[in-house]
Amino acid sequence: MRGGAPPASSAGAGALAGAEGCQRSVVVPSVDVGAAREALRAGRAAAPAVVAAAAAVRRACRSPGCFYCVGHGVPVQPVLAHAETFFTGASEAAKDAMSSRRSAAFRGYVALGAELTGGAADLREQLEFGPEEAVREEEGGRGAWPPYERLRGPNQWPDEGVGAPLIGFRSDVEAFMEGMQGLGDDLACLVALALGLEADAFAPLFAPAPHVQLKLCRYPTARGSKGTRGAAAMGMGMGMGVGAHTDSGFLSLLVQDDVGGLEILVEVSGDEDEDEDEDEEEDEGRHDGQQVGCKGSRRSGCCGSDPTWVPVPPAGDAVVVNLGEVVEALTGGLFIATPHRVVQVAEAEARGAMHRLSAPYFYNPRLDVDVGDFAALGEAIREAAGRGEGDGDAAAPRAFPGRIRGGPGNPVLASYGMNAFKSLARSHPAVVRAHHADLAVAPDGTVTRKGVSE
């Protein structure tokens, strides 16, 4: 679920590294959470495996702000297989039958180009799912206020009739969502420990249940876009699958196929090798990650302190973990939300890839959480950092050049639910027109009721 976006000058247009590309590299680390998850489930938050995994998460959250989660135990291939079957096999009529325009809660099928990021159409089609809930008129129906209550509702599911290739789709997707929620619960514990807090410090944000979101996405390549409705009008082949943005929730957990295209915005400092040498101690939670090349140019000074885009290539069944804006707000910038985007990959085109498939899962707080109500938690994080607990160099918030946080064009609201609704409303104007005509959505995403002074 999208929140802020870096300025256009940082986002670029998905250009591939050329001859003048910087030769430095960034390590996207891997964190094995298998033993840590077992210990956490047994109530042993002080177990060596948990301590080691929390230390690895801490380093990854500080730089580069992203990591591969391995040993997680969640089966990921079934959902990717179902995604491919649906996107390549379902008729246009079947897709239209579960269009998100039919759902006030923004659930269902989203056609190529129907979702916007920063006002630009995304070059992807997708299915959107959330917690399966019955709509109670007084809470989630039309006219409900606060408007985030309208995000509650049922999902739309494809037909699994006898002989259909999508048999098992719903049960596999629901099992995946359940598994990812459990993983999100445990990762939230590790993030808390990484900050010097108790393992359950963040639990009040999610109890009794987080308001999660799952997307199954297909990004057609220029080759694979032939015959895809709307592709020609959108200028397929321009290079960008989804524009630069940060996610508005707590953690984003991404599963992807072997095509590639995900990139994160990082700082590549000239003394990064020295920093890495200091962190080379052996521990259970840390494993070799992916070393990836900087995609900036020498002329941009990317090996100084300028941010630059680096790829996060596929790594089998590893789950890519990005930080959301709620983490950034709670930590006062000690951990920052991860700017990321998806570009088309020339090498994948050359291999004949028809599309990229991914399944991003958004582990979010419950809808009525107001970050302002957790000031004491933020103070505890700052005190722990000042004492050297968690991350010894985390006493000062990180500054990220080129990032836009808040401001008149992108207000970051203390209410998670309002942030979530404004993000969806800004990204899906057709759904707003169909189901939320009583609301006025400003260009910056601010939501008010028409003719009512709140």
Q: What is the mean pLDDT of residues 68-81?
A: 97
Better-scored residue on pLDDT, 292 or 315: 315
pLDDT at 116 exceeding the cut of 70? yes
| Domain segments of the chain as ranges | 8-449
Predicted local confidence at residue 281, as pLDDT? 41
Better-scored residue on pLDDT, 125 or 392: 125
Lowest mean pLDDT among 218-227, 237-246, 366-375: 218-227
Q: Which two tokens stand for residue 378?
A: 């933020």
pLDDT at 93 exceeding the cut of 70? yes
pLDDT at 279 exceeding the cut of 90? no
Mean pLDDT for the chain overall: 81
Spatial contact of 191 and 146, defined as CB atoms under 8 Å apart: no
Q: What is the mean pLDDT of residues 338-364?
A: 89
Better-scored residue on pLDDT, 331 or 389: 331
Determine what percent of the chain is predicted with pLDDT higher than 70: 74
Residues 170-210 pLDDT 10s: 999 999 999 999 999 999 999 999 999 999 999 999 999 99
Contacts 24+ apart (CB under 8 A), 429-432: 429/116, 430/100, 430/101, 430/114, 431/100, 431/101, 431/103, 431/104, 431/106
Q: What is the mean pLDDT of residues 410-432?
A: 87
Lowest mean pLDDT among 158-172, 298-312, 388-402: 388-402
Predicted local confidence at residue 407, as pLDDT? 47
pLDDT at 6 exceeding the cut of 50? no
- Strands 116-117 and 307-311 turn out to be unpaired
**Residue 410 binned pLDDT confidence (cut-offs 50, 70, 90):** low
pLDDT at 333 exceeding the cut of 70? yes
Q: 171-180, 234-243, 332-341 — which one is most confidently predicted on average?
A: 171-180
Predicted local confidence at residue 453, as pLDDT? 59
For 127-136, b/e burial (b = at least 16 CB within 10 A) is bbbbbebebe
**Residue 49 binned pLDDT confidence (cut-offs 50, 70, 90):** very high
**Residue 347 binned pLDDT confidence (cut-offs 50, 70, 90):** confident
In CATH terms, the fold of domain 8-449 is: Jelly Rolls (2.60.120)
pLDDT at 398 exceeding the cut of 60? no
Q: Distance between CA atoms of 264 and 63, rounded to whole angstroms?
A: 11
pLDDT at 137 exceeding the cut of 80? no
pLDDT at 292 exceeding the cut of 90? no
Predicted local confidence at residue 397, as pLDDT? 56
Mind spelling out the 3-state secondary structure of the chain? CECCCCCHHHHCCCCCCCCCECCCEEEEEEEECHHHHHHHHCCCCCCHHHHHHHHHHHHHHHCCCEEEEECCCCCCHHHHHHHHHHHHHCCHHHHHHCEHHHCCCCCEEECCCCCEECCEECCCEEEEECCECCCCHHHHCCCCCCHHHHHCECCCCCCCCCCCCCCCHHHHHHHHHHHHHHHHHHHHHHHHHHCCCCCCCCHHHHCCCCCCEEEEEEEECCCCCCCCCCCCCCCCCCCEEEEEECECCCEEEEEECCCCCEEEEEECCCCHHHHHHHCCCCCCCEEEEEEEECCCEHHHCCCCCCEEEEECCCCCCCEEEEECHHHHHHHCCCCCCCCEEEECCHHHHHCCCCEEEEEEEEECCCCCCEHHHHHHHHHHHHHHHHCCCCCCCCCCCCCCCCCCCCCCCCCCCCEHHHHHHHHHHHHCHHHHHHHCCCEEECCCCCEEECCCCC
